[in-house]
Amino acid sequence: MDDIFGDSIERLFAQIVTPAAIRAIEEGASIDALWQALEDSGFLDALVPESSGGAGLTLAQVFPLFLSAGRHAIPVPFAQTMLARAWLHHVRAPIPKGPITIAAFGMRSGENSISGSAVSFGRTAQWVLADLGSQIVLLPTRGADLESELIADPASLDVAMRWKGPRAANGISGETHPCAKLAEISAVCHASLIAGAADKALALTLDYAGQRTQFGKPIGKFQAVQSQISIMAERTWAARMAAQMACNSTNWWPRPLLAAVGKSRASEAAAVIADIAHAVHGALGITQEYDLQLYTRRLRQWRLAAGNETYWAGRIGEALLRKTSSSALAFICSELSAERL
């Protein structure tokens, strides 16, 4: 099953999500052609039940799609839209056309405005499914004020947003599954994207270490470089295993504690992987012309999106402390096992 979906989406992304396309979109080019290709692929409704025109897949089954999206540093909210469509269908709300991003953190609601800081993919989304605490709203990005100056990276797709006017959107009502929280949904999404981008950064680093020579031999032959790359490879595979565990669900929504483990472990690995990739590449790695920065910038942004490792580690600790009659080992075996579904 992994190969069927993974191979199909890899071929599609290789054609439409090229480094040139990413750079163009980061500079303000239209996403219309890219998004239409994704719509035509049918993958966006993969988590929607078959009875409603989707494929009825589980979160575990679409993990290869999320991983591939990260590996290609996709500049549109592909994985977020898949999950948002499943969530909207679940609460019987209309599903709009166009890319939907999820803002589970950093949203504020006032009398006459709604605002959010560092909304992931805010520059390329047409809709924001936002958790305001007391209610969840679906906000159109058209008409929102974008405050990109608050973001350090001028090419970032994350942006601060503000909707002005009396009640910019109506809340979405509906009975939701207690596990289908936007925070956990966004966490598994970004954990998977991190795992994919880490895989690409490792591949670029291995390739460079095998080609770049110093003192008559490839730098990958030096023990110091090998040691760094071994740490990078260990963190890359740890992030992948954690993300896959977070997506290990027989439904379209994740188990909350597995989502916490996945995002915590993937975020912790992201900065280390990006640092080692640039250390091995030297100055070349930070140039705009070289592709590495497309993936390492995403690693750092996705590390912070939907809660960093400190936040999610705290959530796991709180759950452990509530189990006063359970040891840490028993807690791990009973609550954090991917086999317990």
Residue 168, pLDDT above cutoff 90: no
Q: Give the neighbor-by-neighbor strand order of the sheet with 145-147.
A: 107-109, 113-119, 159-164, 145-147
Length of the chain: 341
% of the chain exceeding 90 in pLDDT: 74
**Cβ pair 300, 270 in contact under 8 A:** yes
Whole-Å CA distances, 157 to 43, 133, 299: 22, 24, 13
In this prediction, residue 340 carries a pLDDT of 54
Cα distances from 252 to residues 31, 231, 247, in angstroms, run 27, 33, 9
More confident residue, 169 or 26: 26
Considering only the C-alpha atoms of the chain, give the largest distance between any 2 of them, rounded to a whole number of Å: 68
Is 87:183 a contact under the CB 8 Å cutoff? no
The answer to whether 292 and 204 have CB atoms below 8 angstroms apart is yes
Specify the amino acid at residue 191.
A
Q: Tokens for 94, please give them.
A: 């209309």
Evaluate whether 162 touches 115 at the Cβ level (below 8 Å): yes
Q: Is the pTM of this model over 0.85?
A: yes
**163, HSE (Cβ side, Cα atoms, 13 Å):** 24
The chain-wide mean pLDDT, for the chain, equals: 90
Cα angle, residue 49 at apex, residues 48 and 50 outer, rounded to 5°: 120
What is the average pLDDT across 241-270?
A: 95
C-alpha 229: how far from its chain's center?
24
* pLDDT tens sequence across 199-230: 999 999 999 999 999 999 999 999 999 999 99
Residues 6+ apart with CB under 8 A from 303: 194, 266, 267, 270, 271, 309
DSSP 8-class letter at 221 = G
- Would you call 106 helix, strand, or coil by DSSP? coil
**Residues 188 and 253: beta-carbon distance below 8 Å:** no
Reported confidence tier of residue 278, pLDDT bands at 50, 70, 90:
very high
pLDDT at 177 over 90: no
Q: Say how far apart CA 13 and CA 7 lie, in whole Å.
A: 10
Handedness of CA 126, 185, 158, 34 (dihedral sign): negative
State yes or no: pLDDT of 291 exceeds 70.
yes
What secondary structure letter does DSSP report for 222?
S
